[in-house]
Amino acid sequence: MENSALEKVASQVRRDIVRMVSAVNSGHPGGSLGCADFLSFLYFEQMNFNAESFQMDGLGEDLFFLSNGHISPVWYSVLARAGYFPVAELGTFRKLSSRLQGHPSTDKKLPGIRMASGSLGQGLSVAAGAAQVKKLNSDKSIVYTLHGDGELQEGQIWEAAMYAAANKVDNLIATIDYNGRQIDGDVEDVMSLGNLAQKWQAFGWEVLEMDGHHFDDIRLNMTKAKAMCGKGKPVVIIMKTEMGQGVDYMMGSHKWHGVAPNAEQLTAALAQLEESLGDY
Amino acid sequence: MEFEILGNKDTRSGFGEGLAELGRTNPDVVALCADLTGSLKMDAFQKENPDRFFQAGIAEANMIGLAAGMTIGGKIPYTGTFANFSTGRVYDQIRQSVAYSQKNVKICASHAGLTLGEDGATHQILEDIGMMRMLPNMTVIVPADFNQTKQATIAIAEHNGPVYLRFGRPVMPIFVKPDAKFVIGKADILTEGTDVTIIACGHLVWKSIEALAILKEKGISAELINMHTIKPLDVPAILTSASKTGCVVTAEEHMMNGGLGEAVSQVLSRELPCPQEYVAVNDSFGESGTPMELMTKYGIDTQDVVNAALKAIARKG
């Protein structure tokens, strides 16, 4: 897909995000905006999937698991824009009886979601299990995950990291949203991750680093990551992003991690984001 | 009814045999273990199906997540570790990735309760039934002996949804027929009686069978129900029996809080209020000792079932 087309998707996704969280005065815009480019690329260029008739088992399809489930707005928007469900349904986000729960869930049967997430640190284990079953099923597809950088403070992530390398789960590409922020402040201050690339290398993973806001760099590294699959090691991409990317007053701080813009702030945000594909 | 002792074995070996049989008959069954393959008797499955066996190491949280992920693509994962590490240690993983996500994972838990014995209270979980039965979507099964554990292990593969299967370590008498059919949620009426209903699960079913003989000498006719499925509970079996006998004893190798007894009293208080006595551990951790010493000390032995029955009958008034 042309970069200009991807930029149109991402801009619309960002509009969806701020409108969704503002409408219910809750949700997590900061990390959602920061991952809008990556998820747009994943669903509009990278992955092979069948949005029209969603199958839980995903046989023959690439799978994606959102481990940091609180950035559900960006995932819901991308899923809707990719054709999993009507975009009008984005207007039900976080409302009573909605399929778009505050954090992703399977029990309301929203197409595109295969696992609940929200309690952090569980998605890498799930993805490793799903990836091993793909091998058992002789399915050559790839399993993708996304994690927050703060989420890496959870011990289960490192259990899964050790397991995936020890068992050569080499059809697994994990991406870290490396924005350096978490609820209480900068990751560096709350609990430093130290040398993150070296940590993953020491655990036995192939490590790539990319800029999560430039489609050329995303394409280059995602292509590399895919080429690394099947060679005995899982792959992790440390993706540098800016929390709140695309809305000037949200960037450069952790303050918009879990705070919704009010009506006035929403207007200011939307003025910076082109309505490229039509609002829901 | 006479109870023929068909042999003596541990329930965990019933799980091991059931899993091995599934390995031969159901290609979708996969198994995971957290460094306790021998203790869980999963060796045969591992040996015969190396590509479908996953060693998770001492990392139970990851094991539950792996199992949840393995359901995506049509597999039926059986996880194996001690009951303590199968529940309390991984409650949030089970809650979010298995129960809430409605994944077809079978959580198989050995060494449950006091009869783990000498290892002591760190490993003797007495809260697991409570934790698991509180989870929506979860089925909770506590089979009574070796044969029933084997039958239950095989039966749960046919049930699409999360299951907690609890069994243990000590060698105990086998009394369930090897060809009995295990039906989830359908209690076994072991004896019919008129004076008191004894509802037991797990190792306490055998203890209750022993209690029947003592009660019979005292001229008491007890109805014994093997409530192998704690959730969903066989409510008609409870009500039919209690309406006949007028009082109930529940017996389990578990904390009084949250266990079988509490589940039964929920039914009785709403549908058929009547005296109920509890044979269970009363708000206490265990300790080191032999399994049988511990059952006596913590009040879940044969004599405790007898005493509870006498008390329940006396309370009928």
What ipTM goes with this model?
A: 0.97
Q: Give CA–CA dist A68/B186, Å, rounded.
A: 41
Nearest to B69 among A105, A119, A128 (CB): A128
Reported confidence tier of residue B3, pLDDT bands at 50, 70, 90: confident
Is B101 in Cβ contact with A107 (below 8 Å)? yes
Tell how strand B106-110 and strand B163-166 pair up.
parallel
In a domain, A114, yes or no: yes
In chain B, the residue whose alpha carbon lies closest to the alpha carbon of A118 is: B96
Reported confidence tier of residue B83, pLDDT bands at 50, 70, 90: very high
The whole-number pLDDT of residue A175 equals 98
* pLDDT for B2 beyond 80: no
First to last CA, chain A: 23
Do the Cβ atoms of B203 and B113 come closer than 8 Å?
Answer: yes
Q: Which domains does chain B have, with CATH numbers?
A: 7-174 (3.40.50.970), 188-311 (3.40.50.920)
Q: Give CA–CA dist A75/A100, Å, rounded.
A: 10
The residue with tokens 């949200």 is A250
* pLDDT for B1 beyond 80: no
In a domain, A69, yes or no: yes
| Domain that includes residue A182, residue range | 3-270
- Separation in Å, CA A8 to CA A4, A19, A41, A54, A154: 6, 17, 11, 25, 35
Nearest to A126 among B54, B68, B74 (CB): B68
Q: Give CA–CA dist A76/B285, Å, rounded.
A: 46
In chain B, the residue whose alpha carbon lies closest to the alpha carbon of A154 is: B61
User: pTM for the full model?
Assistant: 0.97
The residue with tokens 């984001």 is A273
In a domain, A280, yes or no: no
- Separation in Å, CA B73 to CA A135, B54, B94: 10, 16, 19
In a domain, A137, yes or no: yes
In a domain, A277, yes or no: no
Q: Which strand (E) or helix (H) includes residue A147?
A: strand A143-148
Mean pLDDT of B184-191: 98
The whole-number pLDDT of residue B317 equals 80
First to last CA, chain B: 28
Say what percent of chain B tops pLDDT 90: 99
Average pLDDT, chain B: 97
Give chain A's contact residues with B (Cβ, < 8 Å): 56-59, 63, 65, 105-107, 114-119, 121-134, 136-137, 139, 155-156, 159-160, 162-163, 166-167
DSSP string, chain B: ------EEEEHHHHHHHHHHHHHHH-TTEEEEESS-TTTTT-HHHHHH-GGGEEE--S-HHHHHHHHHHHTTTT-EEEEEEEHHHHTGGGHHHIIIIIIITT---EEEEES-SGGG-TT-TTT--SSHHHHHHTSTT-EEE---SHHHHHHHHHHGGGS-S-EEEE--SSEEEE-S-TTPPP-TT--EEEE--SSEEEEE-THHHHHHHHHHHHHHHTT--EEEEE--EEES--HHHHHHHHHHHS-EEEEEEEESTTSHHHHHHHHHHHH----EEEEEE-S----SS-HHHHHHHTT-SHHHHHHHHHHHHHHT-
- Note the Cα A91 to chain centre separation in Å: 20
Q: CA torsion sign, A216 to A221 to A224 to A225?
A: negative
In a domain, A276, yes or no: no
Q: Which residues of B are catalytic?
A: 60
Please report residues of B whose CB lies closer than 8 A to that of A166.
57
Tell how strand B188-191 and strand B222-226 pair up.
antiparallel
φ/ψ of B30, rounded to 5, equals -125, 160
Using one digit for the tens of pLDDT, what is the confidence trace for B238-261? Answer: 999 999 999 999 999 999 999 999
- Separation in Å, CA A145 to CA A84, A125, B241, B297: 18, 10, 53, 51
Q: Per the structure, how many domains does chain A have?
A: 1
Q: Give CA–CA dist A27/A34, Å, rounded.
A: 14
- Residue A267, min C-alpha distance to chain B (Å): 36
pLDDT digits (tens), chain A, 280 positions = 999 999 999 999 999 999 999 999 999 999 999 999 999 999 999 999 999 999 999 999 999 999 999 999 999 999 999 999 999 999 999 999 999 999 999 999 999 999 999 999 999 999 999 999 999 999 999 999 999 999 999 999 999 999 999 999 999 999 999 999 999 999 999 999 999 999 999 999 999 999 999 999 999 999 999 999 999 999 999 999 999 999 999 998 899 999 999 999 999 999 999 999 999 9
Specify the CATH number for the domain of residue A141: 3.40.50.970
The whole-number pLDDT of residue B20 equals 98
Using one digit for the tens of pLDDT, what is the confidence trace for B274-315? Answer: 999 999 999 999 999 999 999 999 999 999 999 999 999 999
Token couple for B156: 């749960």
Please report residues of A whose CB lies closer than 8 A to that of B30.
133, 136
**Preceding omega of A261 cis (within 30 degrees of 0):** no
In a domain, A275, yes or no: no
Q: What single letter denotes the amino acid at residue B307?
A: N
What residues does B224 pair with on adjacent strands?
B191, B198
The whole-number pLDDT of residue A262 equals 97
φ/ψ of A112, rounded to 5, equals 105, -15
